[in-house]
Amino acid sequence: MPSRNIIPKQGNAKALRAKRKREPQVHENAKTAIIIKGRKTSQDVTDALKDIYRLKSPDAVMFSKKNDTNPMEDETSAEFLMSKNDCSLFCFGSHNKKRPNNVVLGRTFDGHMLDMIELGLVQYRGLGELAGLAKRVGSKPAFVFSGEKWGREEAYRKLQNLLLDFFRGQVVNEVALAGLDHCVVCTAAQDKVYVRHYHIGFQRSGSKIPSVDLKEMGPSLDLQIRRTSFAAKDLWKASVKKPRVAETRKTKNVSANQFGDKLGRIHLGRQDLSSMKVRRVKALRTVGKGAKEGEGEGAEDGGGGDPMDGITTSGTGSTSAEGMGDGEGGATAAARAKRGTRRKNKERKVL
């Protein structure tokens, strides 16, 4: 029987739209977290998972049933659950004799496990113990990291990056002051991580800047780092790479000031100032070549004689030079006669 080329069905329009949403995009949506219970959990771990779900909601999915898996030992089951629910973050809780009150935080990239950190829950205090104080749904927290280990040890640096990525939510350019309603303080000391949640209250202070009042609202967790699993260098490099479309390229000769105004720089050629049409004054007039030579001859003769020596003036104001020829000598004599006439006119005006 001859074989036939069978074209697989592409699905209906709804399936195609759902598939297109899961494709890589330039600007991704808020990361969704999945909360998973292990085969056996304690009461503290169950309450901690519920509180983490409340803090992460609405970008979180919580499984009510228990799952016989452990991401630190088998990554495939966690990757399958996350790809099926379109999630890139997960929080797994379990309890056994070897590792009591165990919590695992992790994330994936392109369907593959990126990094995981296993934490031991030493002490826990839930949201229910502090009634009346709670955050708004979808509000963004303010994080404060205290301690020298956050910048020195690799495990603490990865944990800091993972916590920020876990509770980041929707990426926005600006946040309203009234939207900051809770703060997360993480302190690294004595090989432990102390996580405290505080409610931010604003009160009137008589000025534009309100006074801030912090009250503990829970959950309060004392964590201890146990096992870690970090991504390879090539996978980590691919995960942090930004597409060229999303990068903001710098425009040549265009900048912005601190107020956000756009400034432009214009480059002009060399200007010829001699051809500019300006008001001509006597101080800016150039002296002729004959006048300069005449001044030089007068200086050589001693400069003490009368410039009118050897020049006779007629009644009509015409001048003549004795012994002068044509050419440059005649021009020099004419210039001398002109200066002498101007000097006599000034003396007459003074008298």
Quote the CA–CA distance of 168 and 178 in Å, as a whole number. Answer: 17
Q: Which of 14-18, 92-96, 274-278 has the highest mean pLDDT?
A: 92-96
**Mean pLDDT along residues 128-144:** 78
**Mean pLDDT along residues 241-263:** 80
C-alpha closest to that of 54 among 177, 197, 187 = 197
Whether residue 145 has pLDDT greater than 70? yes
Q: pLDDT band at 337, cuts 50/70/90?
A: confident
C-alpha closest to that of 36 among 105, 126, 110 = 105
C-alpha closest to that of 71 among 41, 42, 107 = 107
Strands (E) across the chain are located at 33-37, 60-66, 89-94, 102-109, 112-125, 142-146, 182-189, 192-203, 211-216, 220-229, 254-256, 262-264, 311-313, 319-321
The residue with greater pLDDT, 67 or 282, is 67
Give pLDDT tens digits for 265-277.
888 888 777 777 7
Q: pLDDT band at 312, cuts 50/70/90?
A: very low
| Structural domains of the chain ordered from first start | 26-239 (3.40.50.10480), 285-300+308-350 (no CATH)
Quote the CA–CA distance of 18 and 292 in Å, as a whole number. Answer: 93
Whether residue 2 has pLDDT greater than 90? no
Quote the CA–CA distance of 237 and 232 in Å, as a whole number. Answer: 9
Q: pLDDT band at 319, cuts 50/70/90?
A: very low
pLDDT for the residue 305: 47
Whether residue 203 has pLDDT greater than 70? yes
The answer to whether 81 touches 61, Cβ cutoff 8 Å, is no
The answer to whether 281 touches 293, Cβ cutoff 8 Å, is no
